[in-house]
Structure 1
């Protein structure tokens, strides 16, 4: 218990360093790599850990910090809207006005002229209570044939269709084959069009890359494994619990590898309620 508490405290201190980096100059936001380095986390996992520990994404922290400073400039200094927009890193007064109105309920000029609004923002939603069982296991080295995908994660099914056609033509669709996808980004922190993932399947030695399929050699890895039953569209709740609840209390540290999903049965022959997915978080040895 003491080790878990110390781990959570350590995570909090490290995330605080990333927050300080954002706050240092909101008009010039730091890169993902700079924030992850400041927090001493792998870039693969930084966004999720940050969001689950703080309740918001780094982009939302940045927006909140910018608007907080803007509000102070407006109500305390009475500055022109255009000047505040420029100082806070907005591309235009119009963009700043839209963002400010969305957060504060009034345009910045009215906020300034009225001396503020004097009302708190709505309270956060209640905490989620779903619980899962996590096991830690040693996964041997794996050789994957993989097709890269850029865009929303839900669309990876069509990428798997392409991969299976490639594998079928080479006699690789065997009962021993496992279908393992790699997910590089947090979908709440990265624009949908920029999300990176890879549809993969295990292949034996000697298989060569071709037709856009590349060969990945994953090292032997310790994994935290959570098995989810149900539609793939609902997997994000499992990730939320894993990163928000389990990881900070586990005494474990994520490895510098992307999260994985191992699809344990055939979605083509079973209803979505029966689909089984192992959500796998690589851990440091």
Structure 2
């Protein structure tokens, strides 16, 4: 077994690779380049990355490119051929097969279900106009008391849709520090309204819940979710579509609820593993803290 210092070093190096992938999705990301980012031998990089991150580099690249494609399909433009090319596919047909396999719909069908106008800054769609299918979507909202959560993690600044690379780094470092167990809970805190600020100014935090006695490693920051009542809904589907849940929660449920939101940011808990399940099966609980 690797010594803790060595495990942490490997985790940090592989986390650098994930961040590099997320920042250079339009570039060639061959094995030698990624091994160089990790300062690792190309002969052993692939196996080490898979064991530390939980998937191969090619799977990470494909997953992040398809996630970005799903976000792009929320707009009328760009054309499907351009989205396919940016996702690394030589033809629209190959892209369609890969996207359909991952998301359960062809790119054209997915776009038809998503497009209601141009995206505002920050990567989220505006509320759908009256009479559209999406306007009729409803979620069951439950008001429940929730415990407070102490989180170790990392801040993110920028489009909320790009926080995935930060989570990968949190998981890699958390594993190296021995903080991850099958019971570990994962949270994202979202401090700003993406319809009101430029994407580059949006603030969020990717974290894992820890116990009150946990000692924070130097390479983590800490955030807290206070205990209290929250309006929670369960969303099932791709993270790129989570804005639908927010539109319902803030645009339909809250005005009719007679409740006041607390001066606490909304947050999400991710209830299953996106690496082992297709996007259509991803479960996210969206929570809006309320005044008592």
State the TM-score, normalizing by the size of structure 2: 0.53
Say yes or no: does 1:206 pair with 2:206: no
Q: Structure 1 residue aligned with 2:179, among 151, 172, 175? A: 172
Given that 1:229 and 1:275 are in contact with CA atoms closer than 8 Å, whether structure 2 keeps it comes out as yes
Quote the Cα distance in structure 2 between the aligned partners of 1:125 and 1:221.
34
Counterpart of 2:111 in structure 1 is none
> 1:21-58 CA deviation, whole Å, 9 max, x = no partner?
xxxxxxxxxxxxxxxxxxxxxxxxxxxxxxxxxxxxxx
> 1:118-146 CA deviation, whole Å, 9 max, x = no partner?
xxxxxx94352211100011111211112
Q: Structure 1 residue aligned with 2:158, among 151, 157, 173? A: 151
Quote the Cα distance in structure 2 between the aligned partners of 1:209 and 1:147.
12
Structure 1 residue 201: deviation in Å?
A: 0.9
Higher relative contact order (CA 8 A, sep 6+): 1
Given that 1:180 and 1:200 are in contact with CA atoms closer than 8 Å, whether structure 2 keeps it comes out as yes
Matches of residues 68-107 of structure 1 in structure 2 within 5 Å?
none
> 1:217-250 CA deviation, whole Å, 9 max, x = no partner?
3321111001010000001011001111100110
Given that 1:153 and 1:197 are in contact with CA atoms closer than 8 Å, whether structure 2 keeps it comes out as yes
Q: Structure 1 residue aligned with 2:259, among 242, 252, 258? A: 252
Matches of residues 1-285 of structure 1 in structure 2 within 5 Å?
125-127=129-131, 128-285=135-292
Q: Considering only aligned residues, what root-mean-square deviation do their CA atoms show, in Å?
A: 1.4
Quote the Cα distance in structure 1 between the aligned partners of 2:197 and 2:271.
27
Quote the Cα distance in structure 1 between the aligned partners of 2:146 and 2:249.
19
In 2 relative to 1, CA 198–131 (structure 1 residues): closer, same or farther, beyond 3 Å?
Answer: same
Structure 1 residue 211: deviation in Å?
A: 4.1
Quote the Cα distance in structure 2 between the aligned partners of 1:231 and 1:181.
15
Given that 1:208 and 1:215 are in contact with CA atoms closer than 8 Å, whether structure 2 keeps it comes out as no
Q: Which runs of 5+ in 2 are unaligned?
A: 1-127
Structure 1 residue 208: deviation in Å?
A: 3.1
Structure 1 residue 212: deviation in Å?
A: 4.2
Quote the Cα distance in structure 1 between the aligned partners of 2:247 and 2:220.
31
Q: Which runs of 5+ in 1 are unaligned?
A: 1-123
Counterpart of 1:78 in structure 2 is none
Helix, strand or coil: the match of 2:250? helix
Quote the Cα distance in structure 1 between the aligned partners of 2:219 and 2:194.
24
Quote the Cα distance in structure 2 between the aligned partners of 1:169 and 1:212.
11
Quote the Cα distance in structure 2 between the aligned partners of 1:198 and 1:144.
9
State the TM-score, normalizing by the size of structure 1: 0.55
Helix, strand or coil: the match of 2:235? strand
Which of 1 and 2 has greater Rg? 1
Quote the Cα distance in structure 2 between the aligned partners of 1:276 and 1:168.
22
Structure 1 residue 209: deviation in Å?
A: 3.2
